[in-house]
């Protein structure tokens, strides 16, 4: 019988405020200070508590600009229009 793995991952958006490169006994590490609005953890605090108990996988996605390439004529606040000569 195979064991089922429960997905306890959470996704939140925040800011990396500071990073510091340090030398520890196992080599170089980068320590991060992050800020995440507390309301993003509503209903996720148990999963977040497990993050504090061990290692976790982090994915960083920088701000991205979605280019307005369609011709539908509708304005989208998440898109940036580029002037074309």
Run of H or E residues at 45 = helix 45-52
Domain regions of the chain by residue span: 12-54
Q: Is the pTM of this model over 0.85?
A: no
From first to last of the 85 residues of the chain, give the pLDDT tens digit.
Answer: 667 777 778 889 999 999 999 999 989 999 999 999 999 999 999 888 888 888 888 888 887 766 666 666 666 666 666 676 6
**Residue 85 has what pLDDT?**
62
**Residue 14 has what pLDDT?**
93
How far is the C-alpha of 34 from the C-alpha of 19, rounded, in Å? 9
**Residue 81 has what pLDDT?**
66
């Amino acid at each position: 019988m195979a064991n089922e793995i429960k997905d306890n991952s959470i996704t939140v958006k925040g800011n990396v405020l500071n990073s510091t490169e340090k030398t520890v006994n196992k080599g170089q590490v980068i320590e991060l200070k992050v800020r995440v609005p507390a309301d993003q953890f509503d209903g996720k605090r148990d999963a977040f508590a497990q993050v504090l108990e061990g290692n976790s996988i982090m994915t960083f996605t920088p701000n991205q600009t979605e280019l307005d390439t369609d011709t539908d004529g509708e304005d989208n606040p998440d898109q940036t229009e580029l002037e074309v000569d």
